[in-house]
Structure 1
Amino acid sequence: MKRLAAISAAMMLSACTPLMIQQAGAPPMGFQGPRLERDVFVSFDGTRLGLSRWEAQGEPKAVVVALHGMNDYANAFHLAAPYWAQNGVTTYAFDQRGFGRSPNRGIWGGDDLMVEDLRAITAVVRNQHPGVPVIVAGESMGGAVAIEAFASDRPPAADRLILMAPAVWGWSNQPLPYKTMLWLAARFTAGKVYEPPRWLTRRVKPTDNRDELIAMGRDPLMVWGARSDTLYGLVAMMERAWGAAGGIKVPTLYIYGANDEIIPEEPSFEAAAKLKATDRSAYYAKGWHLMTRDHQGPVVWADLLSFIRDPQAPLPSGAPTIPGSPTLPNALIEAEGRVKAQVGL
């Protein structure tokens, strides 16, 4: 058995990636570059991706570019974004390639295209809102895309980054039987769509908000199940994100819930431990995976709003930092804020 496991591991490391991956399109004649339309983000290659927006009344004080997770779409932010809009923050969320209203649903978009889409929309938003802070917020898979982008040599034109339970459960942390089966499935049944068994969906919850789970289950724009080569691509992306977390080039807030049943604690703590000492983190005892949609979602919305407004401001919840992360404890930030207030700074 040990010999078989070693051979399987060697095969995974040496083989080429077997994915069906979307390719950049050919921009149409007269293409004038990326732009935002009413419910569409036209990306760098002319591909039309679904767009949702929640606009602040009057001129926004900050703008968020939001990235959803695996099999989700821009509606992932339908609870947090209206709250931010009420507080002077405009949010643009787009359906990443292969998800929601975007073309080629179910076909893996690939790291390069997804990262380039993020660069493109961030540049458009920056130009549309000159002088206003731009913050990227990535949830789960969206967090993995954001990590890769901001750790690259061409980070998006944003001022700071929010990572919400980013997908960092890559090859380094996957159990050997899992990754062996995925390696085999991606090569021999690449186009087969695997849906989670009912017993698993009953036991593993992304949030404690039952009403939200029911609404997601009834939403025709959600994707349920995934091709085996898409799952392979996701795990490879998670591995790259896990390894690149220490290279993020903007101030970052990394949040994680103690009850997360989707992205395990170990790789999440390891990724958070790679952050810079000047970054921030928050660990929610009542948090699950989809933290802005949990029952305690309003607590998270307010904390994220605080960071959106000022990356050095105390988090209203007073949530502790993620265990093992090198980030400045929130209690010290609160104490510093009180001292500054007392001396009139």
Structure 2
Amino acid sequence: MKTLSFSAFRLRRERLSSTASPRLRPWSARRNSLLAALALALQGCVSFPAAAPASGQARLENDVFVARDGARLGLTVWRAKEPAAIIAAVHGMNDYAGAFSLAAPYWAERGITTYAYDQRGFGRSPNQGRWAGAPAMKEDLRAFIAAIRRDHPYTPLFVMGHSMGADVVMAAHKDEALDADGIILAAPGVWGGAQMPLLYRATLNLAACVAPGKTLTGESAGRQASDNIDFLRAMYEDPNVVKDTRLDAVLGVVRMMGEGWDASDEIAGDFLVVYGARDDIIPVKKIRKAAKRLSGEVETRVYEDGWHLLLADTARAAPLADIATWALARADREPPRRAETLEQAVPNLP
């Protein structure tokens, strides 16, 4: 048996061979055609909500990010005394802002403030464990960036996504270029959509259609997300981390990963891609290929002792330092931003 893992928690799947005979037998060809038809037919069986209409301007409160539709999402901020740059961080599947609890203090000491929010359906945000849908997740990211820009109109802003969070970042950037001075992709979860075996996709669509609320756990999983066992134990005990994953949420993240993969071939910008050579969750060759598909100024860093949760690994010092160095170097070369209106410069005017 093999396992599919999202963040620290894994879902069991059958081992599927990625090799194929150059000449498929007739029954194999028919089987694949039937599977493709089944996957396509079931594609619309499980649907997710569209983004709710905006009812106001997004804003940041003490420990809450208020989205444009009024939803109150969990927020954690690690502030630098005199920030030279800001990172807007987006967590991965089943995780929340706590994913950056070891990385952000390090960055704060080096002059980088980190804002991290809990995506809908995760952490302290409403409807924990329920998949909110890609449109809402991408809209929340845009609103989050806009809210940070209003509060810090002169500070360079970098958007970082880890795992599934990187897919949200890339997919949103594909829809419309993000208002960011650079993008950091940490262990991007680019293993979904057409990148997954056809049999697995068809089976997942069928299972999510028949029993969307059935939950799966990673108790018998065989893959490791990090070598920092204390951090993994803390995640397991943390009520803000989802332990039991609904089948429809699995389908949702697989589709989101597919969006991220597709976007990697169409987006351009200033990118830093970091990942671990020991990533046991996302195939390293997929991450490497996605990085090569990006356009613009792209820097890639691979860490021999790095795992999927490389921002929390025991050897996290190297990637954390590289991210800080990359962001601060670009912050130095960015011209000061100018607020277009007085309300943007001072957002709390009466």
Q: Please say whether Structure 1 and Structure 2 have the same fold, judged by a TM-score greater than 0.5.
A: yes
Q: CA–CA distance in 2 between the matches of 1:199 and 1:192?
A: 17
Residue of structure 1 equivalent to 2:127: 104
Structure 2 CA distance for partners of 1:253 and 1:268, relative to 1, 3 Å: same
Residue of structure 2 equivalent to 1:319: none
**1:147–1:245: 8 Å Cα contact kept in structure 2?**
yes
**2:187–2:274: 8 Å Cα contact kept in structure 1?**
yes
**Residues 285-318 of structure 1: per-residue CA shift (max 9 Å, x gap):** 11100111001111111000011112499xxxxx
Matched, 1:214 2:214: no
Matched, 1:250 2:273: no
**Residues 177-206 of structure 1: per-residue CA shift (max 9 Å, x gap):** 32222111011111111223x331xx2111
Matched, 1:17 2:67: no
**Residues 249-295 of structure 1: per-residue CA shift (max 9 Å, x gap):** 32011111111111112321221120225211111111100111001
Residue of structure 2 equivalent to 1:163: 185
TM-score normalised by length of structure 2 = 0.83
Identity among equivalent positions (%) equals 43
Superposition deviation, residue 231 in structure 1 = 0.8
In terms of fraction of residues, the more strand-rich structure is 2
RMSD (Å), alpha carbons: 1.8
Of 236, 248, 264 in structure 2, the residue corresponding to residue 229 of structure 1 is 248
Q: CA–CA distance in 1 between the matches of 2:220 and 2:298?
A: 39
Residue of structure 2 equivalent to 1:47: 71
Residue of structure 2 equivalent to 1:335: none
Structure 2 CA distance for partners of 1:26 and 1:161, relative to 1, 3 Å: closer
Q: CA–CA distance in 1 between the matches of 2:183 and 2:299?
A: 10
Structure 2 CA distance for partners of 1:254 and 1:43, relative to 1, 3 Å: same
Letter in 1 for 2:304: A
SS at match of 2:274: strand
Of 76, 93, 99 in structure 2, the residue corresponding to residue 70 of structure 1 is 93
Residue of structure 2 equivalent to 1:199: 220
Letter in 2 for 1:178: Y
**1:118–1:156: 8 Å Cα contact kept in structure 2?**
no
Larger RCO, structures 1/2 (Cα 8 Å, 6+ apart) = 2
Superposition deviation, residue 15 in structure 1 = 3.7
SS at match of 1:8: helix
Superposition deviation, residue 156 in structure 1 = 2.4
**1:61–1:133: 8 Å Cα contact kept in structure 2?**
yes
**1:134–1:159: 8 Å Cα contact kept in structure 2?**
yes
Superposition deviation, residue 24 in structure 1 = 4.0
Superposition deviation, residue 23 in structure 1 = 4.7
Of 142, 147, 164 in structure 2, the residue corresponding to residue 141 of structure 1 is 164
Matched, 1:288 2:307: yes
Letter in 1 for 2:90: L
Larger mean Cα displacement after TM superposition, 217-226 or 262-271: 262-271
Q: CA–CA distance in 2 between the matches of 1:120 and 1:253?
A: 23
Unaligned residue ranges in structure 2 (runs of 5+): 1-26, 333-350
**Residues 149-182 of structure 1: per-residue CA shift (max 9 Å, x gap):** 1122x22211110000111101222123322221
SS at match of 1:119: helix
Q: CA–CA distance in 2 between the matches of 1:62 and 1:222?
A: 28
Residue of structure 2 equivalent to 1:35: 59
Letter in 1 for 2:179: A
Q: CA–CA distance in 2 between the matches of 1:18 and 1:193?
A: 18
SS at match of 1:150: helix
Q: CA–CA distance in 1 between the matches of 2:187 and 2:43?
A: 29
TM-score normalised by length of structure 1 = 0.84
